[in-house]
Structures are given as C-alpha cells and as structure tokens.
Amino acid sequence: MRGSDAGPTAAGPPLIALGVLLALLALAIVAGWVLPGPAALMAPAALQPVEGLITVDGASAEPAGHFYLSTLHLSSRPRLGQYLLARLQSDVEAVPRSQVLPPTLDEAEFQRQRQRLLTESQCIAEIVALRQAKAPVTVHDAEVRVVATIAGTPAALELQPGDVIEAVDGETVRAAAELVSLVQGHVTGEPLTLRVNRSGRTRSVTLPALRGPLDTEGPVLGTVLATAGLSYQAPVSIGLEAGQLPGGPSSALMYALGVFNALVPEDITRGYRIAGTGTLRLNGTVGPVDGVRLKVWAAEQAGAEYFLAPADDAAAANAAARSIKIISVRSFGDAVSALRKIDMNDSPGLQIVPARGDTTLAWLK
C-alpha cells in the first residue's frame, strides 16, 4: 500500500511546474504583443525599379539595365515581441522613437509637411534631370516660408510664422526640401547661419542643426516649413505613375537618373543593376541621407552591382559593402559622368547597350 501511494505524490510537483511554465509562457506571448517596444525599428524596404514608375510624354522608359530606389521601412510603435524578434536580425536597427516622429509636433501637421517635401523633391529631381539633359526648362520663383516653430526649440525664439528663409550658410534655398538637404549634412547641434526676410527686412539668424525624422527628412531646425511657388515649364511632360515619389526626398537622386535616362538617346545604365540614394538640391548637389548601411545591404541582397552614395555617406557605404561597388557622388553631374565611365571589364562578357531613341525628345534629334 505504501508503494502505491508514492507514485501520485512524486508526479505532483513536475505537473505543477509544467503548468506554471505554460502559464508564464502564455503571459509572455500576450505581453509581447500587447506591451510597446522600447524603441522604433528601421529596416530596408524592397528595392524598387525606377523605370517602371516614369513616363515621358506618355512613353515608358525601358533601359537595358535598372535603376533602383533604396528606401527604408520605419516602424514607430512596434510591439515588444516584434522588437525582440527584430533585434535578432542583422538588417534591422533600433532607433529612438523621437527620431521617427518628433514628440513636440502634431502628427497631422507632420504628415502634411512630409507630403509637401515629397512633392517638392519630385519636382526638384525633374528640374535637375531636364537641365542635365540640356532641355529648355523655366523654373518659377519660389521661397521657403516658416509655417510654425516647435515649442522648446531655439527656432521658437528667433523665427516667426511668415518669415522667409532665403539662404543657409550662404547658399540660397528656394525649397524646403533644399533646406532639409543642407541641414542633413550637419551634425546635430552644429550652428547654421540663416538669412531671414521678415516683412521686407533681412537679418541673420544662427540656429543649431536639428535633424528631421529618419528617411522622411521632415521638420528641421525646430520649424515647420512650406514652399511657395515651386514649379517649372518644359516642352515635355514627365509623369510618375505612382503619383508620388516612393521613399521620399532620399529617392530624388535615383528618380532624377531615371528621368534623365528617359530624356536622352543613350542608356546610362549600360545593362547594369544600379541602386543608390541621395537628396537633391536645385543646383544639382547630392545631399546625405539616413540608413545608408541598411540600403547598401538591401542592394547587395537584391543583386545590384553598383550603389550611388552621397559623398558625405560614402565611408559608411563602403564599410557596409561586401561585393557591391560604391560610387561616391557630390552632384547629379558626378553621378551621370561616373555611370558613363564604368569599366566594362567589371562584368566580363557584357556588351555595351546601343543608344535607344524611343523616348528621345525632339530638341535632341
């Protein structure tokens, strides 16, 4: 009788321990999908071919190679479980949530600002491409106006709604996207000198550089900005099938290359798969961006052979590259020249692609 009583008693503790373990596991799973993660997450988005997005006078660009947009995917409020799983992946980075959405800025206004910058960057890219193609283009006068300042920032003490920012560190700015590109090239806290026009009077204002949200190039300098009057006229219609530049201002360089390639009789892809990133200013300057390491990683994984990187980001791009070749560029003209000079021996057996003329403009014939 004693022996038969010992069996059930000995089995009790293991069953209780298993029950407790399963309950804790269930709680952990629930907590992982209910509790917020401690930071935002940044990962590369899938590369997107540029030529499929562009039409010039109704004709689609069809180069032998491909230009790819390299963009980021941002998750501002991941769940704790998502955050923990993402930390096990080499292609995901954790960033402070404040770098994705400024805590002092109304989210609706932030989204309006982001949409304005997307539209501006697309317009700037088209103007730069048209100029590089020697196309006749008339750019209308534009100016950058302060819509609001963000409470608690130095800009709130120095700027007012209605102020016009005419230049940054001596460089004229005619679009908010240009100002953002200039600020992105500075270390946070580095002083910037602005030429500000208020009610017809010009004065100099010094403010510390404050970066905008990652890869959206949103509000900078503690301001909400709007561009008035940015537009152009050209003897050709350029369309973006998606309706808006995917990826935002950091896609401007690759979008402009796609537009340029559709305008001229040559094919500057020369059959290669070329990815890249960079903001653009109206003078053709290529500005720095965020997340270059992740973008290079994604380009390599997708099989791209070359990656165009802003000169300010070239060191980070080279550090991330394994097999892909990094081309450092300071201007749009640099990018075009570099692509024309790619050593054809880099890809044995590849033939030079003949010039095409299906979308060549009348003034180039």
Question: Which residues are within 8 A (CB) of 106 and not within 5 positions of it... i.e. 6 or more apart?
Answer: none
| Region at 34 (left for phi over 0; alpha for psi -120 to 50; beta for the rest) | alpha
Instruction: Give the range among 100-104, 151-155, 156-160, 197-201 with minimum mean pLDDT.
Output: 100-104
CA distance 69 to 49: 6
Continuous segment of H or E residues that includes residue 77: none
Distances in Å between the Cα of 236 and the Cα atoms of 60, 243, 262, 291, 360 are 13, 17, 11, 34, 11
Report the mean per-residue pLDDT for the chain. Answer: 79
Query: Does residue 345 carry a pLDDT above 90?
Result: no
Q: What local confidence, expressed as pLDDT, does residue 290 receive? A: 81
Distances in Å between the Cα of 212 and the Cα atoms of 162, 188, 216, 223, 224 are 21, 10, 7, 10, 10
Handedness of CA 201, 203, 208, 209 (dihedral sign): positive
Q: Hey, how many other C-beta atoms are within 10 angstroms of the C-beta on 87?
A: 13
User: What is the percentage of the chain residues whose pLDDT exceeds 90?
Assistant: 39
Q: What local confidence, expressed as pLDDT, does residue 349 receive? A: 36
Question: Which residues are within 8 A (CB) of 121 and not within 5 positions of it... i.e. 6 or more apart?
Answer: 177, 245, 248, 249, 251, 252, 279, 280
Type of residue at 280 = L
Name the phi and psi angles at 6, rounded to 5: -70, -35
Q: What local confidence, expressed as pLDDT, does residue 131 receive? A: 96
> How much is the CA Rg of the chain, to the nearest whole Å?
26
Query: Does residue 212 carry a pLDDT above 70?
Result: no
Q: What local confidence, expressed as pLDDT, does residue 296 receive? A: 94
